[in-house]
Amino acid sequence: MSELSALRPQWRSGSWFVVAGTLAGILLVLATLGVDNIDATRITAVAAIVVAAGVILWAVLRTRRQRRVHEESLTAWAAERAQREERLRIARELHDLASHGLGLITVRASVARRLTGPGAEAERERALADIEQAGRAATTELRRMLSVLRSDPSSVVPRPQPGVADLPALVATAERAGLTVEVDLSGTADLDAATQAAIHAIVAESLTNVARHAGPTAVRVETRRDRTAGGELLILSILDQGAAPGWRSHPGAGHGVAGMRERAAVLGGSLRVAMAGSGHLVEARLPLVDAG
């Protein structure tokens, strides 16, 4: 955003400085002539008026032409900015599809393959059912995205953004992948839609990362409110207990943390990722606004 704002065309016109300089020069000439030579003064005054009128007309026409060029540049800049933002949105959706959908399929299959004991065969059957369901959902979502890309933008009806109410389904999906998730969503009852969407996206990405890199481990998802000198914050934390014994990490595309930081930054917040004991902590600090 800052890069795009910095490239915004700026309006600059020096035409009226030329007019002001010309008028100042004419007044200086008239003041120098004085009133001793009346005829010379009249002739100079008439010439000065003609020159001034010509310069003002030139300035008006030049300013209009410069403003037209500026407006065309501004329109082109706005179109390019909208295109970049749309490309970023599509990239985020594709990342979510690959990371949260297909990534969990990989993790679920890996967990099922490692199962041993009397109930292993039944659990593998459940894993295959989960993989089939996740694969169908990912295929449906991919088709929807391709349909949106091919359709007229004016005919596309935007989908409601997921929010806090959708987190239980997200947690259930993570638990089917092998995670043990403890959730405390204190202070999320009256959040605005943008903050809820950011929370959902950050939790989804964090749980996917834990499943990929730590395997079947325990995770705590917690929200709380904190009042500071700058206003009230919602603090979202996702803390895992470290990798399961013998688990081999399944790296993703590497854009997940950057995407979470972007979502927090859009709301004026911040996000940090740090080691916490044997696991990792993701903490987002999001400024709160009036949802009404």
251: pLDDT confidence band, cut at 50, 70 and 90? Answer: confident
Is residue 90 included in any domain, yes or no? Answer: no
Cα–Cα distance list, 276 to 57, 174, 178, 234, 280 (Å): 71, 21, 21, 20, 5
Residues in the chain: 292
Q: Name beta bridge partners: 271.
A: 284
Residues 270, 285: contact at Cβ < 8 Å? yes
- Same-domain status, 70 and 168: no
Spatial distance between the Cα atoms of 164 and 178, rounded to a whole number of angstroms: 22
Distance CA 26, CA 32 (A): 10
Does residue 190 belong to any structural domain of this protein? Answer: yes
| Number of domain units in the chain | 2
In tens, the pLDDT along 86-143 reads 666 666 677 666 667 677 777 777 777 777 778 778 878 887 887 887 788 777 777 7
pLDDT surpasses 50 at 254: yes
* Domain's final residue, options 58, 78, 98: 78
CATH of the domain at 192: 3.30.565.10
Please check the confidence at residue 220 and state whether its pLDDT lies above 60. yes
Share of the chain above pLDDT 70, in %: 72
Interval 54-90: pLDDT, tens? 777 777 777 788 788 878 877 777 777 766 766 666 6
273 forms bridges with which residues in the sheet? 282
b/e for 52-82, b at 16 or more Cβ within 10 A?
beebeeebeebeeeeeeeeeeeeeeeeeeee
Two structure tokens written together for 17: 């400085």
74 and 173 share a domain?
A: no
pLDDT grade for 34, boundaries at 50, 70 and 90: low
pLDDT of residue 268: 92
pLDDT recorded at residue 115: 72
Domain around 14:
2-78
Cβ atoms of residues 291 and 190 within 8 Å? yes
Choose the final residue of a domain: 46, 78, 110. Answer: 78
pLDDT level of residue 39 (50, 70, 90 thresholds) = low
Whether 186 is in a domain gets the answer yes
* In the predicted structure, residue 152 carries a pLDDT above the cut 70: no
User: Does 132 reside within a domain?
Assistant: no
pLDDT value, residue 98: 65
Residue 228 lies in a domain: yes
Both tokens of 180, joined, read 């043990």
Residue 86 in any domain: the answer is no
Predicted confidence at residue 227, as pLDDT, reads: 85
Query: Do residues 52 and 171 both lie within one domain?
Result: no
Q: For all residues of the chain together, what is the average pLDDT?
A: 78
Q: Does 88 fall in a domain? A: no
Q: Of the candidates 78, 102, 134, which is a domain's last residue?
A: 78
Give the list of residues 6+ apart from residue 111 with CB closer than 8 angstroms, or none.
Answer: 127, 177, 178, 215, 216
**Do both 65 and 180 map to the same domain?**
no
Q: Look at strands 231-240 and 180-185 and give their pairing.
A: unpaired
* 96: in domain: no
